[in-house]
């Protein structure tokens, strides 16, 4: 997202065709604007533009986008396939819905807008027009918001615009952009919404208009969801908006929907973008430009959210930050301040969260990374050293506890908890799925397994009696039990199999239900009826066959060895991660603790390549 | 489909083959007009439910055998719907509250209140009360048991509760003290042979004594299992002669193989392997308690004497945790890891001793 001030005002806005009454003010008003743009102090700037920088410096071309080029290319290819149909021309049928997912502020909307402009297509965007037509007595043609949405979707997908220029009415490409969605938390609306999409996909339109859905991820936190997750009734988290609530499951896995996940913006890319923005903003005078350190702090605290970074940047240009250029020692203050502004919860990527726990780094542990340059290795070394200096050694343990002697951990569990994108139940499942790869000895396994078991059974029967310290106990217990250093042998991180088996179990219970006779209890059917059922199956003369579904619980073939099937590896994109191959920032949490990053030290210790 | 177990189940207290004095007691209780709340307990397959239904018949006559199966939907405080199957007649109702999982309290409360507040309308009924049979009472949660305790007192005038459980150890004391405890022990092998021969006669074939012997020794006092095995064997080889091979159910062999896995190798990778096996068992609805029990029993046959009590101790230990916690796999695995590490330690110790 590089600056282009001159073009900011003249740039062609994507036309938005509204099929219902549009609210007069289509610009989104940000409450921050109220005080984010006060009168500039001292010398008045030439441009008295009170818009936010985010809007002023909206990217206009692909080169200005701060998104990883590969992602942009993915989206572009999809759009091209949607319009042309790919090399064979047959793909068009399947390019109906594109879902862009990712955390807030990673450039999803910007990418679509830029590409739409570059590919010269019209963006039809839906916006929930709440209270636009103020209630004016009885209206015969009153529509609910949702039926408006349905109409919009239907018409946008099928009708050509009447107002299009005579020349281009046929050739003009259009996409439907859905970012502001109806209230999907309402079950009825969600069903209708799903139906609308099913209908859209099912319609045999030779000239379909592709639909782009933009979904900002938000992770799940809070322990109450546990219960529901466990009972296996529904994995859909009704109160969290994610791609699974927005699109029906079968559609999402079907051929018509493509999902492209956006990762948080890498610090290097963001730095470039912000620098060029500063460069053009302060082209005339350099005195007020924020210092390099502040820029670094902003990037670091934004966690890949470029919108928040730009906001923070603008903020830092408006108020005089305590540090300035003169005193470098006060940088910590600026950091604290900026962090307070830009800090986002759930900023730690799941993948890295697990890496931190499993690799169990402790004081005076040297990372031996062979494929780094000496400079980088040295930098890592220095950073670790500084980190270690801040860690205090634990008091010596008495003799009988000497088995529990450990060096101080470099992992700050409080930080982990604050930044964790998942709740403790899911966290324990992930640990459970993967811990054995990081153990050498049975004793270490025993430690982790015991902790998992204890933590899970601590607390009472009801959710509100649950142990509130589960996350901490688990993290600390795992760290305590695992060896340090953990041997690196190309461990892979897998997703928990728990849920797959839970669904299987549910199916089996249903089958069980079919076989209940009289007053048999479920467990009796499962454990004792199997033999007879099997005998009936093998006996061709048996007059009455039981439904074959009993095999779900009666048939168990022992396969020696552990089959790797059913294991799915946790990828970084799962909960958005860092752009692969470009940057590694696993240790940024560590950076917060001590605040000793020297200019642009991003390419440091890596964890990711090890996975 | 009708199984022999159900088809040839004794209907009345007089038809029962064993525990004659229990039958006489039940008969006199039913005749006394002062029928208490009851708790039947004993190992599975001993004939608890058969005795309960025979007692019902004794109480109410043949009308208690006209059963229909309903499904009732209960609403939890958090507005979740729970479906529970009910077996009812005009005189009694039978529920398995553990089907409702954590919400068994809701089911118990709603249902009992509803039954207790309606009077028996059938003027020809022999008794003024209705009977509620609660199966698997030992898997009731604490909450549900507490709820039950209150209701049992309050509605004594027009309702009786019959609980059916494998063991009384998981029931709270107030409930035990409100019930007349009826222990139904497992039949001995002579009694079982007699029942098997009776079943064979009813099914019009002759059971060779060797086959009966075989089945009885295999089924460990579980009458239901014995009759099921008999039926399965009859289906496989109609004449029941020659050496019989009683196939164990799949899950049981599976558990035995897991025990083998534990003793053959003790590494973190093996833990992972066993975990998938456990997951497989769990996803086939095998109750985790049964899993841990079967594996432990198979395991103790393969280890040295001093380890045996340890293994059983930890199995019991983790079984309790399993009951409290909700992710059974953690506890199963923790137990396996514990066993592995114990086994390994003892192995090394043995080696060292040898060396000295």
What's residue B23's pLDDT? 92
> Which B residues 185-214 touch A at CB under 8 Å?
none
Is B283 within 8 Å of A504 (Cβ atoms)?
yes
B342 at A interface, C-beta within 8 A: no
Q: How confident is the model at residue B173 (pLDDT cuts 50, 70, 90)?
A: very high
Res A500: pLDDT = 82
Residue B287 contacts A where some CB pair is shorter than 8 Å: yes
Question: In this complex, is the C-beta atom of A493 within 8 Å of any C-beta atom belonging to chain B?
Answer: no
Q: What is the mean pLDDT of residues A523-535?
A: 75
Report CB contact under 8 Å: A528, B228. Answer: yes
Count CB pairs under 8 A between chains A and B: 194
Residue identified by tokens 């549009």 is A22
Sheet holding A257-262, edge to edge: A121-126, A173-178, A211-216, A97-102, A257-262
Q: How far apart are CA B341 and CA B307, in angstroms?
A: 11
Q: What is the DSSP code (8-state) at residue A404?
A: G
| Any A CB within 8 A of B319 CB | no
pLDDT attached to residue A235: 39
Write out residues 99-158 of B within 8 Å (CB-CB) of A.
99, 101-102, 135-136, 141-143
Residue numbers in A near B57 (CB within 8 A): none
pLDDT score, position A220? 47
Under the banding of pLDDT at 50, 70 and 90, the label for residue A436 is confident
Contact criterion met (CB below 8 Å) for A383 and A603: no
Residue A465 or residue A111, greater confidence = A111
Report the run of H or E that residue A259 belongs to, with start and end: strand A257-262
* Mean pLDDT across A317-322: 64
pLDDT at B187 over 80: yes
In chain A, residues with a C-beta closer than 8 Å to the C-beta of B228 are 528-529, 531-532
Q: Which residues have C-beta within 8 Å of that of residue B88, sequence separation ≥ 6?
A: B67, B68, B69, B70, B94
Taking an 8 Å cut-off on Cβ atoms, the answer to whether B318 and A538 are in contact is no
**Contact across the interface for A429 and B327, Cβ inside 8 Å:** yes
Taking residue A486's Cβ as centre, other Cβ atoms within 10 Å add up to 19
pLDDT of residue B334: 94
For residues A457-475, average pLDDT: 77
Helix A442-457 with A470-481: angle, nearest 10 deg: 170
User: Nearest residue of B to residue A550 by CA position?
Assistant: B284
Which residue shows structure tokens 């092998």?
A: B189
Spatial separation of the C-alpha atoms in residues A364 and A372, rounded to whole Å: 19
Match 């990053």 to its residue by tokens: A597
Q: Which of A436, A509, A536 sits opposite B271 (nearest CB)?
A: A436
Higher-scoring residue by pLDDT: B156, A3: B156
pLDDT, residue A504, reads: 83
pLDDT at A516: 67
Cα-based distances in Å from A414 to A127, A472, A480, A593, B42: 40, 8, 15, 11, 51
Subunit contact B94:A519, Cβ cutoff 8 A: yes
What CATH number was assigned to the domain covering residues A69-132+142-262? 3.40.50.300
Chain A residues with CB inside 8 Å of B80's CB? 233
Which has more confidence, A342 or A402? A402
Contact A531 B228 (CB under 8 A): yes
State the Cα–Cα distance between residues A512 and A525, nearest whole angstrom: 7
* pLDDT (0 to 100) of residue A464: 66
Which residue does chain A place closest to B65, by CA atoms?
A518
pLDDT confidence band for B314 (50 / 70 / 90) = very high
> Which residues of chain B are within 8 Å of residue A477 when distances are taken between CB atoms?
none
- Listed ranges A173-182, A557-566, B166-175; the one with the highest mean pLDDT: B166-175
Provide the percentage of residues in chain A whose pLDDT is more than 90.
Answer: 2
As a whole number of Å, the CA-based R_g of chain B is 23
Q: Tokens 């959210």 belong to which residue?
A: A305
Cβ of B228 and A529 within 8 Å? Answer: yes
Question: Residue B51 pLDDT more than 60?
Answer: yes
Report d(CA A56, CA A72) in Å as an integer: 22
Q: What is the mean pLDDT of residues A328-338?
A: 57
| Residues of chain A numbered 433-462 and touching chain B (CB < 8 Å) | 436-437, 439-446, 449-450, 452-454, 456-457, 460-461
CA-based radius of gyration for chain A: 28
Interface contact flag, B271 A445, Cβ < 8 Å: yes
pLDDT number for residue A153: 76
Contact residues on chain B for A445, CB-CB shorter than 8 A: 268, 271, 337, 340-341
Q: Do A461 and B250 touch (CB under 8 A)?
A: no
Contacts of A460 in chain B (CB under 8 A): 324
pLDDT at A586: 29
Q: Can you read off the two tokens belonging to residue A134?
A: 């103020």
Residue A585: band (very low, low, confident or very high) from pLDDT cuts 50, 70, 90: very low
Among B225, B284, B321, select the one facing A457 at the smallest CB separation. B321
CB contact under 8 A, B282 and A443: no
Interface membership of A596 toward B (CB under 8 Å): no
3-state SS, residue B49: helix
Q: How confident is the model at residue A29 (pLDDT cuts 50, 70, 90)?
A: very low
List % helix, strand, coil for chain A (3-state, nearest 5): 45, 5, 50
CB contact under 8 A, B337 and A558: no
Bridge-based pairing state of the strands A173-178 and B38-41: unpaired
Mean local confidence (pLDDT), A197-209: 76
The shortest CB-CB distance from B266 to any of A442, A457, A542 is to A442
Q: What is the predicted pLDDT for the residue at A223? A: 41
B-facing residues of A in 334-373 (CB < 8 A) are none
Contact in structure between A546 and A533 (CB atoms under 8 Å): yes
Answer whether B333 sits within 8 Å of A449, measured CB to CB.
Answer: yes
- Interface probe for B, chosen from A225, A437, A447, A461 (most Cβ of B below 10 Å), is A461
Instruction: Kindly report which listed range (A147-151, A159-163, A282-286) carries the lowest average pLDDT score.
Output: A159-163
Residues linked to residue A555 through DSSP beta bridges, in sequence order: none
How does the average pLDDT of chain A come out, rounded?
69
Mean pLDDT, rounded, for B103-108 = 83
**Helices vs. strands in chain B: H and E counts, helices first:** 14, 7
Task: Answer whether A538 sits within 8 Å of B236, measured CB to CB.
Answer: yes
Strands B159-165 and A257-262: unpaired
What is the per-residue pLDDT for A130? 58
Tell me, yes or no, if A539 comes closer than 8 A to chain B by beta carbon.
Answer: yes
Contact call for residues A463 and A224 (beta carbons, < 8 A): yes
Inter-chain touch B231–A231, beta carbons under 8 Å = no
Domain range list for chain A: 1-21+30-59+264-344, 69-132+142-262, 350-496+569-610, 499-554
Of B53, B229, B344, the CB nearest to A442: B344
Residue A17 pLDDT greater than 90, yes or no: no
Contact A518 B87 (CB under 8 A): yes
CA distance B105 to chain A (A): 12
**What is the structure's pLDDT at B41?**
94
How high does pLDDT run on average in chain B? Answer: 86
Indicate the DSSP class of residue A209.
P
């Amino acid at each position: 997202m590089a600056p282009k001030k001159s073009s900011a005002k003249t740039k062609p806005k994507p036309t938005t065709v509204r099929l219902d009454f549009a609210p007069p003010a289509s610009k989104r008003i940000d409450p921050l604007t109220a005080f984010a743009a006060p009168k500039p102090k001292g010398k008045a700037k030439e441009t008295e533009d009170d818009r936010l920088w985010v809007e002023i410096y909206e990217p206009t071309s692909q080169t200005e986008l701060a998104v990883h080029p590969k992602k942009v290319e993915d989206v572009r290819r999809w759009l091209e396939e949607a319009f042309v149909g790919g090399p064979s021309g047959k793909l068009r049928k399947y390019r109906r819905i594109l879902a862009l997912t990712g955390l807030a502020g990673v450039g999803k909307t910007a990418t679509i807008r830029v590409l739409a402009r570059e590919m010269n297509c019209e963006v039809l965007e839906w916006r929930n027009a709440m209270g636009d037509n103020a209630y004016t007595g009885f209206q015969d043609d009153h529509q609910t918001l949702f039926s408006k949405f349905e109409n919009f979707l239907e018409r946008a997908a099928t009708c050509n615009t009447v107002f299009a220029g005579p020349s281009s009415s046929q050739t003009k490409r259009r996409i439907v952009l859905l970012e502001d969605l109806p209230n999907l938390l309402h079950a009825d609306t969600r069903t209708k919404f799903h139906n609308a999409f099913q209908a859209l996909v099912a319609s045999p339109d030779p000239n379909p208009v592709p639909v782009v859905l933009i979904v900002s991820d938000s992770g799940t936190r809070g322990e109450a969801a546990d219960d529901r997750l466990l009972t296996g009734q529904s994995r859909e988290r009704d109160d969290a908006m994610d791609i699974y609530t927005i699109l029906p499951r079968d559609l999402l896995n079907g051929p018509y929907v493509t999902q492209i996940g956006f990762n948080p913006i890498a610090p290097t890319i963001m730095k470039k973008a912000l620098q060029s923005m500063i460069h053009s903003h302060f082209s005339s005078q350099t005195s007020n430009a924020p210092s390099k350190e502040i820029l670094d702090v902003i990037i670091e605290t934004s966690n890949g959210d470029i919108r928040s970074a730009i906001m923070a940047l603008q903020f830092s240009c408006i108020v005089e930050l305590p540090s300035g250029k003169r005193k470098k020692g006060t940088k910590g203050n600026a950091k604290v301040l900026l962090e307070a502004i830009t800090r986002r919860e759930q900023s730690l990527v799941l993948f890295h969260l697990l890496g931190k726990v499993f690799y169990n780094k402790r004081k005076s542990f040297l990372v031996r990374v062979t494929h780094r340059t000496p400079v980088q290795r040295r930098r890592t070394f220095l950073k670790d050293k500084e980190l270690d200096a801040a860690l205090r050694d634990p008091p010596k343990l008495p003799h009988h506890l000497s088995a529990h002697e450990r060096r101080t951990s470099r992992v700050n569990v409080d930080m982990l908890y604050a930044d964790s994108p998942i709740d403790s139940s899911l966290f324990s499942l992930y640990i459970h799925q993967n811990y054995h790869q990081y153990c050498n000895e049975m004793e270490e396994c025993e430690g982790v397994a015991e902790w998992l078991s204890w933590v899970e059974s601590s607390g009472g029967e009801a959710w509100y009696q649950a142990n509130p310290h589960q996350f901490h106990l688990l993290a600390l217990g795992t760290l305590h039990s695992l060896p340090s250093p953990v041997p690196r042998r190309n461990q892979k991180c897998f997703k928990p199999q728990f849920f797959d088996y839970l669904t299987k179990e549910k199916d089996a219970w249903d089958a069980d239900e079919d076989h209940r006779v009289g007053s048999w209890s479920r467990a009796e059917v499962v454990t004792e009826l199997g033999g007879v059922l099997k005998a009936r199956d093998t006996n061709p003369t048996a007059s009455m066959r039981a439904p074959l579904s009993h095999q779900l619980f009666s048939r168990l073939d022992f396969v020696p060895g552990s089959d790797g099937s059913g294991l799915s590896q946790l990828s970084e994109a799962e909960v958005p991660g860092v752009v692969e191959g470009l940057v590694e920032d696993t240790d940024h949490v560590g950076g917060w603790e001590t605040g000793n990053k020297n200019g642009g030290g991003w390419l440091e210790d890596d964890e990711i390549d090890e996975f | 489909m009708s199984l022999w177990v159900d088809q040839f189940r004794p209907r009345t207290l007089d038809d029962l083959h064993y525990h004659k004095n229990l039958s006489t007691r039940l008969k006199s209780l039913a005749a006394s007009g002062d029928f208490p709340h009851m708790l039947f307990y004993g190992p599975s397959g001993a004939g608890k439910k058969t005795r309960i239904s025979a007692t019902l018949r004794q109480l109410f006559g043949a009308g208690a055998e006209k059963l229909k199966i309903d499904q009732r939907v209960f609403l939890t405080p958090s507005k979740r719907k729970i479906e529970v199957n009910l077996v009812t007649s005009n005189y009694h109702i039978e529920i398995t509250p553990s089907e409702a999982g954590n919400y068994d309290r809701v089911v118990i409360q709603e249902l009992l209140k509803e039954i207790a507040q309606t009077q028996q309308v059938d003027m020809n009924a022999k008794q003024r009360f209705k009977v509620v049979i609660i199966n698997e009472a030992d898997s009731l949660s604490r909450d549900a048991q507490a709820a039950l305790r209150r209701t049992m007192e309050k509605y004594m005038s027009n309702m009786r509760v019959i609980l059916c459980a494998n063991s009384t150890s998981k029931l709270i004391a107030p409930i035990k003290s409100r019930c007349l405890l009826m222990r139904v022990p497992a039949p001995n092998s002579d009694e079982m042979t007699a029942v098997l021969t009776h079943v064979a006669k009813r099914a019009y074939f002759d059971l060779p004594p060797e086959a009966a012997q075989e089945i009885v020794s295999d089924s460990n006092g579980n009458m239901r299992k014995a009759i099921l095995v008999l039926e399965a064997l009859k289906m496989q080889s109609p004449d029941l002669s020659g050496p019989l091979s009683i196939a164990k159910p799949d899950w049981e062999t599976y558990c035995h193989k897991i025990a083998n896995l534990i003793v053959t190798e003790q590494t973190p990778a093996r833990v992972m392997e066993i975990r998938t096996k456990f997951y497989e068992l769990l996803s086939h609805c095998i109750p985790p308690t049964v899993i841990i029990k079967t594996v432990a029993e198979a395991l103790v046959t393969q280890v040295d004497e001093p380890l045996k009590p340890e293994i059983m101790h930890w199995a019991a230990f983790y079984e309790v945790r399993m009951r409290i916690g909700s992710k059974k796999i953690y506890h199963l695995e923790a137990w396996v890891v514990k066993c592995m590490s114990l086994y390994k330690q003892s192995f090394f110790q043995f080696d060292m001793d040898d060396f000295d």
